[in-house]
Structure 1
Amino acid sequence: MSGLAPGAVRLELERILSSGDFDASPRNRHFLRYVVEETLAGRADRIKAYAIATTVFGRDADFDPQLDSIVRIEAGRLRRALERFYLMAGPGEGIRITIPRGSYVATFDAEPQPAASAPVPTGERSGPAILVRPFDEEGDQSAYPNFTRGFARQIIVGLTRYTELFVFGADTALAGNAAGGTLDADYLLTGGTSLSADRCHVDVLLTEARTGRCVWGESFTHRLDPAEIIEVRDKVASAVVRHLAQPYGALYALKAREVEGKASSSLTAYDCVIRFYQYWRTFDRAMFGELRRDLERVTQREPGFADAFACLSLLLTDGFRYGYASANERDDCLARALVLARRAVDLAPLSSRCHHALGMAHWFMGDVASALPAFEVGLDLNPNDTDIMAELGMRCAILADWDRAVPLLEASYERNPAQPSGYRVGLAIWHLWHGRLAQALSEARRVDAPGVVYGHVTVAVAAIGLGLAEEAASALDALDRVDPSYMSRAAGDLTRRHVHPRLVQIVMDGLAKAAAVRTLPAIAPG
């Protein structure tokens, strides 16, 4: 007890039990009181799974801890509830009650009190902060004693590759409280792992730190080959990270609901990044002007947030490539996009999104030799970023480098089904190249970017090749609504975009056939 008075410990116990920040069930509150009182009474040696099960949880005298894991499971929950309490409520009068892993005995430690409580410094941040707690171990993992610890570590590593996030491990929270403050976490990531002879199973739960509300949960199962235990661990950790942090993942969905309807003047830089990805899903022209103004404003207000600079760069590149910017400023848009992308990389050289922006600016300035390495660097920095994976695949498809393009595009959709559909144009032109018109049309029909010409172009070319004149004509009508003059300059546009000459010819031949059929006079029945 480190010389602490029992009365002081009991005051701390009552502070915990009466606090709204202590999120524990009634029986786990009883559990905590039991282990604290037994320890204070000098009976720590009697605090065993059997005694807890029969005294606290009402199990019968024939309880066998080897067959019934209730005590171990509830102890894990109680530890997490205590961690959250101290994260949210702070150290109180300087006594901390804990139940160390591997034991059910309560420990009482005195903590030095600061002159004034202050949050742990996290620097200027706009994105969310996530605390990753140690994962619970289910079942007998003695054959792989470091699996769960390593799994949590890999999740932390994966999350830190999304540089807009602030990621902390459990040690950070303890260090922060020892320094006299509380960690300003927005979300807590918890979970457990279980291993069997041939399966690895993981449950993951995301909760709001301030309310304790569960906002996302998922289970992951992977076949387990003991000879590939590390590879399996890392694959499952990567899957968790992708589901949580990638664009259109769980964190995006949570934030998108908050941003919906928010006044532009109150948007943070991270809010604008979320808005950008709402736009990016379909390249909605109606969002372009307002989103540009918002990003311009927040990059001035939060000049250290690299991802906002990257998104503004990508948006200005779209202003050039899709004609969203006015005609007299399109070239300036591209020059600014390159400057902004370089600024973003300077601010966050490890951000895949920043290298994505740099690659796009180089590409549309005609510097393919600089664009491809930028995409490759970004993907190396964050292999879980399916956006840059698909972008690199798309650029390789345009160059007809199918050996690189197709695996990247297919993997991006396999790993992130919510990936923007525009990248399916890359798969459609792959099928066109090889004469697989039905597959090309299937991919082209899935493109949901009505304000961009290229989905309509691929539908028209594939449909007319299959003899579907009505669908081809409808695609040309949609194309004309987007850009009435596009047909007259399509060859030059595709060439400027570095489309392989054979692909340009395939597309131009298909458009010519579709246009010819559309202009034929209708034949009256009979």
Structure 2
Amino acid sequence: MNGGGHNDDAEAVRTELRRILASRDFEASDRNRQFLAYVVEETLGGRGERIKAYNIATSVFGRAADFDPQVDSIVRIEAGRLRRALERYYLTAGQADGVRITIPRGGYVPAFAHHSGATPQEGPAPVTRGGTSRRNGCAILVCPFEEDGDRSAFPNLSRGLTRQVIVGLTRFTDLFVFGSDTVFSRDVAREDAVGSCGPLDVDLLLTGGTTVSADRFRLEVLLSDARTGRYIWGETFDRMLDPREILRVRDEVANSVVRSLAQPYGVIFSERAREVEGKPPESLSSYDSVIRFYQYWRTYDRALIHAVREGLEQAIRRDPDYAEAFACLSQVYVNLLRFGHEPPTSAMDLLKRARDLALRAVELAPHCSRGHHALALAYWFAGDVAAGLAELRTGLALNPNDTEIMSDLGVRHAARMEWDEALPLLRDSYARNPAQPGNYRIGLALYHYMHGRYADALAEMRRMTVEHAVPAFVVVASAAAQLGLAAEASAAVQAILRIDPAYGDHALADLRSRNVHPEIIAAMVEGLRLAGLPGQDTSMPAEGRAAPRAAE
């Protein structure tokens, strides 16, 4: 399809132009809407050779006849904004449009193409790779971010921002990141990665552009499927700018991009999870098994854990160097113990298996935060609190963008009533990653509960996504009972009994096994008594019960 083609093609392009200009999802200024209309009509009229910076500036932007594009860069700047506005439109309202209008880089003449109208639910084309190291994970190419505006004050800002994004992404070891050397030294352009993806064999493409003014810094970033060109995600990051803090702002924006993309519950995970959903276990790859683990980890669904374990066991047999599969499987074995899926008599065997798997993950990838996270949980539930906290701190130091480790460290400090350490970690983790599951809000709920703010504690618990773990219902039942909410307290008690009918007989032992502070244990057991949970541990008021022993 081209601008000088048949009448039907020209009319289809004009219809698409009218659709874009009428859409509230086309986020362009009036001037750039005129810019788009001008270049489209010039091209359809067979006058594409006249589409130059000078003619655009004088016909659209009202510049005088002495306009010099070497001095005034308005057309180049606005063309970059118009390209990104079009990309964002096709990412949102225009996904199913049958014709697409683009303005290829390097000029201002638009291109027109028929489009199949693929929807986001279809997912990217399946990828087959040779070699274990590339079979498990997702490959992403980070292209140099474009620069709009005067670059003289901060000449290397976009280049530095691109590198910081690359550095942040490489800390998530299930991603294969191409960027610094690939892009800057070998000059691989965006167009070289689309379609067949060339020798890089990338799955995803990250592009963007920066704009710097006197007091603001703005990054517009887009993620697309490198094989189909389908846009998956787009976002604008806008920050106030103090020239004295330009590096801090640059790094903050880069880390925000990384967290949005690479977290287990971020954009890349969500895209892959849609593809894995519904697959039979025998068709799952090792990477698929890890994705399914994170789907389970969001809710701790008891019906999923054994299938997840089997998938990961197959993964480590199939790919014995896949560190993340070892880390995930270690966490499954910890959950088999802490959520009562296996009898207590199996505790030592489960913990040993969890520890050995986590140690293998760390051995395979010593700089991967997730192996240290798994090892931390194995130590914690074996009763070694100090080693568990140390491993969590190590993991967080290796990857400060891993908000799941940040929040889990906060929960562990909360269980020990170390509020000064717990609260900043928990609050910052949710501020940085709102997509994170609510599982870790139990740490904030304990803080409110132990300070007598039962309504705040219950509000935090209502934001959780866990429906299959006793500790969550323990806090809900206790807080509701303290507030006199009999129906909600009773519902939480019934949920506990469905999971563990004898929980009231060993509530003390369960909470001690989780290394919970004795004061929290006493408060929770008293709350369960008020809520009406039957059992020998909850049958008498706190003053008549033997004091719990101090946790080690």
Q: TM-score range by the shorter chain?
A: 0.7 to 0.9
Q: Is the 8 A contact 2:132 2:319 kept in 1?
A: no
Match of 1:4 in 2: none
Deviations 1:86-127 (A, max 9, x none): xxxxxxxxxxxxx999x99xxxxxxxxxxxxxx999944410
Question: Take 1:183 and 1:426, find their aligned partners in 2: how far apart are those partners?
Answer: 43
Structure 2 residue aligned with 1:161, among 159, 168, 171? 171
Match of 2:141 in 1: 131
Deviations 1:318-371 (A, max 9, x none): 011101235554432221110000000011111111110000000011111211
User: Number of aligned pairs?
Assistant: 451
Q: Is the 8 A contact 2:461 2:472 kept in 1?
A: yes
Question: 1:364 is matched by which residue type in structure 2?
Answer: F
Question: Take 2:419 and 2:221, find their aligned partners in 1: how far apart are those partners?
Answer: 37
Question: Take 1:449 and 1:429, find their aligned partners in 2: how far apart are those partners?
Answer: 16
Q: Is the 8 A contact 2:302 2:468 kept in 1?
A: yes
User: Is structure 2 residue 436 aligned with structure 1 residue 431?
Assistant: no
Q: Is the 8 A contact 1:320 1:331 kept in 2?
A: no
Question: What SS is found at the alignment partner of 1:284?
Answer: coil
Question: 1:431 is matched by which residue type in structure 2?
Answer: H
User: Is structure 2 residue 157 aligned with structure 1 residue 140?
Assistant: no
Instruction: Go from structure 1 to structure 2 and tell me whether the alpha carbon gap of 1:170 and 1:404 turns closer, same or farther (over 3 Å shift).
Output: closer
User: Is structure 2 residue 308 aligned with structure 1 residue 291?
Assistant: yes
Q: Is the 8 A contact 2:260 2:266 kept in 1?
A: yes
Question: What SS is found at the alignment partner of 1:286?
Answer: coil
Which consecutive unaligned segments of at least 5 residues does structure 2 have? Answer: 1-35, 44-48, 84-103, 109-128, 190-197, 540-552
Q: Is the 8 A contact 2:80 2:148 kept in 1?
A: no
Question: Take 1:393 and 1:422, find their aligned partners in 2: how far apart are those partners?
Answer: 12
Deviations 1:5-58 (A, max 9, x none): xxxxxxxxxxxxxxxxxxxx9x79x99xxxxx9xxxxxxxxx995489789x9x
Question: 2:410 is matched by which residue type in structure 1?
Answer: G
Match of 1:398 in 2: 415
Match of 1:20 in 2: none
Deviations 1:116-165 (A, max 9, x none): xxx99994441011111110001112111111111111000000010110
User: Is structure 2 residue 183 aligned with structure 1 residue 183?
Assistant: no
The CA deviation at 1:171 is 3.6
The CA deviation at 1:485 is 0.7
Question: Take 1:176 and 1:198, find their aligned partners in 2: how far apart are those partners?
Answer: 32
Moved more, 123-132 or 242-251: 123-132
Question: Take 2:463 and 2:72, find their aligned partners in 1: how far apart are those partners?
Answer: 52
Structure 1 residue aligned with 2:357, among 329, 340, 345? 340
Deviations 1:419-471 (A, max 9, x none): 12121111111111111111111112222211111111111111111222222
Question: What SS is found at the alignment partner of 2:279?
Answer: coil
The CA deviation at 1:239 is 0.4
Question: 2:156 is matched by which residue type in structure 1?
Answer: N
Question: Take 1:258 and 1:439, find their aligned partners in 2: how far apart are those partners?
Answer: 38
Q: Is the 8 A contact 2:218 2:236 kept in 1?
A: yes
Structure 1 residue aligned with 2:260, among 236, 243, 252? 243
Report 1:301-340 matches (<5 A).
Answer: 301-325=318-342, 329-340=346-357
Question: What SS is found at the alignment partner of 2:199?
Answer: coil
Question: What SS is found at the alignment partner of 1:162?
Answer: coil
TM, length-normalised to structure 2: 0.74
Report 1:16-35 matches (<5 A).
Answer: none
User: Is structure 2 residue 182 aligned with structure 1 residue 172?
Assistant: yes
Q: Is the 8 A contact 2:171 2:398 kept in 1?
A: yes
Report 1:362-511 matches (<5 A).
Answer: 362-511=379-528
TM, length-normalised to structure 1: 0.77
Question: Take 1:516 and 1:482, find their aligned partners in 2: how far apart are those partners?
Answer: 13
Match of 2:368 in 1: 351
Question: 1:357 is matched by which residue type in structure 2?
Answer: A
Question: Take 1:252 and 1:212, find their aligned partners in 2: how far apart are those partners?
Answer: 19
Which consecutive unaligned segments of at least 5 residues does structure 1 have? Answer: 1-24, 32-36, 38-46, 79-98, 105-118, 521-526
Match of 1:515 in 2: 532
Question: 2:150 is matched by which residue type in structure 1?
Answer: D
The CA deviation at 1:63 is 5.1
Question: Take 2:481 and 2:502, find their aligned partners in 1: how far apart are those partners?
Answer: 20
Q: Is the 8 A contact 2:493 2:533 kept in 1?
A: no
Question: Take 2:486 and 2:313, find their aligned partners in 1: how far apart are those partners?
Answer: 45
Match of 1:70 in 2: 75
Q: Is the 8 A contact 2:166 2:180 kept in 1?
A: no
User: Is structure 2 residue 221 aligned with structure 1 residue 204?
Assistant: yes
The CA deviation at 1:69 is 3.0
Question: Take 1:54 and 1:336, find their aligned partners in 2: how far apart are those partners?
Answer: 72
Question: 2:335 is matched by which residue type in structure 1?
Answer: D
The CA deviation at 1:61 is 5.4
Q: Is the 8 A contact 1:362 1:371 kept in 2?
A: yes
How large is the RMSD of aligned CA atoms in angstroms?
Answer: 3.7
Instruction: Go from structure 1 to structure 2 and tell me whether the alpha carbon gap of 1:373 and 1:516 turns closer, same or farther (over 3 Å shift).
Output: closer
Instruction: Go from structure 1 to structure 2 and tell me whether the alpha carbon gap of 1:484 and 1:245 turns closer, same or farther (over 3 Å shift).
Output: same
The CA deviation at 1:67 is 5.7
Question: 1:369 is matched by which residue type in structure 2?
Answer: A
Deviations 1:154-186 (A, max 9, x none): 0000000101101011641564989xx721111
Instruction: Go from structure 1 to structure 2 and tell me whether the alpha carbon gap of 1:396 and 1:177 turns closer, same or farther (over 3 Å shift).
Output: closer
Report 1:226-265 matches (<5 A).
Answer: 226-265=243-282
Instruction: Go from structure 1 to structure 2 and tell me whether the alpha carbon gap of 1:183 and 1:494 turns closer, same or farther (over 3 Å shift).
Output: same
Question: Take 2:429 and 2:373, find their aligned partners in 1: how far apart are those partners?
Answer: 15
Question: 2:383 is matched by which residue type in structure 1?
Answer: G
Question: 1:402 is matched by which residue type in structure 2?
Answer: W
Question: 1:70 is matched by which residue type in structure 2?
Answer: V
Match of 2:211 in 1: 194
Deviations 1:472-507 (A, max 9, x none): 122111111111111111111111211111111111
Moved over 6 A (4+): 51-55, 75-78, 119-122, 516-520
Question: 1:253 is matched by which residue type in structure 2?
Answer: S
Q: Is the 8 A contact 2:163 2:180 kept in 1?
A: no
Instruction: Go from structure 1 to structure 2 and tell me whether the alpha carbon gap of 1:254 and 1:194 turns closer, same or farther (over 3 Å shift).
Output: same
Question: 1:271 is matched by which residue type in structure 2?
Answer: D
Question: Take 2:225 and 2:314, find their aligned partners in 1: how far apart are those partners?
Answer: 29
The CA deviation at 1:75 is 7.9
Q: Is the 8 A contact 2:166 2:177 kept in 1?
A: yes
